Structure 1
Amino acid sequence: MITLRQATTEDRDWAYFVKKKALGLYVVETWGAWYERIQWEFFEQTYQQSLTQIICQDQTPVGTLRVERRTDEIFLSELYLLPTFQNQGIGSVLLEQLKAEARQRALPLQLTVLQVNESARRFYERHGLVCTAEIKHHYVMTYHG
């Protein structure tokens, strides 16, 4: 069973670990290396505990989810799963819930994905999101319910 719980102060380091495991290879492919200090500083600047949820499968933490509910869109800013829990349908369940919320609220669901992360782009395309723009190193993907 997939559940979400609010991130706590104690989850911060674990959330960074998940991000590193989920995105590390793509960061290296995009920028040439995982510069630990730079990545940690960026994480510290952008981490929003109040918006971050811990994804649990049968009460085991397996990833992080951060959704920004704005007046004009639902922005999926982070859906990171530890590699051993990827390709098991967890992301699909969560994404379908967000799509349902977007339809109910009559808002687009939007996200960005690193251009080199082709598997993530294909995942989002399979769920009905389309590339609507490109920004440096990223595709902007949107779902209009």
Structure 2
Amino acid sequence: MEIRKALPEDEPFLYEVFVSGRWDEVKTWGWGEEEIQSFLFMQWTMQTKSYQLQYPQAINHIISYDQKPAGRMLVQSDTKSIRLIDICLLPPFRNKGIGSALLHELQRQAGSQEIPLFLSVTPTNPARRLYERHGFLPCSQTETYWEMVWSNQTIS
């Protein structure tokens, strides 16, 4: 597995990764392919702008596996915490341990700096169980998101 900083020329791939994570859900709405593409492009554009406003220091990473682009990970770090903002893998690369390896690396970084690692997840997202298996604990909840934290102190 390789992780590198995303470049401007990676934008089409970043959009492809975003679509891969939403296509099946939106497809169930009964829309045509053109409507789905238009809607997803609008959502991706708004998500990208929202992340830039909320997390101006975030770094977008491209994840490669077996020398093939496999996904993206958006992370913001400072001296007080690390935040996993977004992570998504293309379908052929899911359930291969890549997500676990990425989480382990972020946990290693947070642990070595003795700072917490935060993320947000919807309660129905299957990734929530992955985060729980890796020691993340809910620290706050809304109707739509769970804020979760991992730190050296959350491990027994």
Q: Aligning the two structures, in what range does the TM-score lie when normalised by the shorter sequence?
A: 0.7 to 0.9
Contact 1:132–1:140 (CA under 8 A) maintained in structure 2: yes
Greater strand percent: which structure?
Answer: 1
Change (3 A) 1:105 1:95: same
1:40 partnered with 2:39: no
Quote the offset at 1:36 in angstroms: 2.7
1:102 partnered with 2:115: no
Task: Give me the TM-score of the superposition, normalised by structure 1.
Answer: 0.84
1:20 partnered with 2:19: yes
Aligned positions of 1:1-145 closer than 5 A:
2-25=1-24, 28=26, 35-46=39-50, 51-117=59-125, 119-145=126-152
Task: Give me the TM-score of the superposition, normalised by structure 2.
Answer: 0.79
Quote the offset at 1:5 in angstroms: 1.5
Structure 2 CA distance for aligned equivalents of residues 72 and 135 of structure 1: 23
Return 5+ residue gaps in structure 2 as ranges. none
* Matched positions, count: 141
Quote the offset at 1:23 in angstroms: 4.1
Give the counterpart letter for 1:94 in structure 2: L
Instruction: State, as a whole percentage, how many aligned pairs show the same letter.
Output: 36
Quote the offset at 1:21 in angstroms: 1.0
Q: Residue deviations 1:46-69, cap 9 Å, x none?
A: 465971110001210000011100
Change (3 A) 1:10 1:121: same
Structure 1 CA distance for aligned equivalents of residues 135 and 58 of structure 2: 28
Quote the offset at 1:37 in angstroms: 4.9
Quote the offset at 1:24 in angstroms: 4.4
Contact 2:85–2:120 (CA under 8 A) maintained in structure 1: yes
The alignment yields a C-alpha RMSD, in angstroms, of 2.6
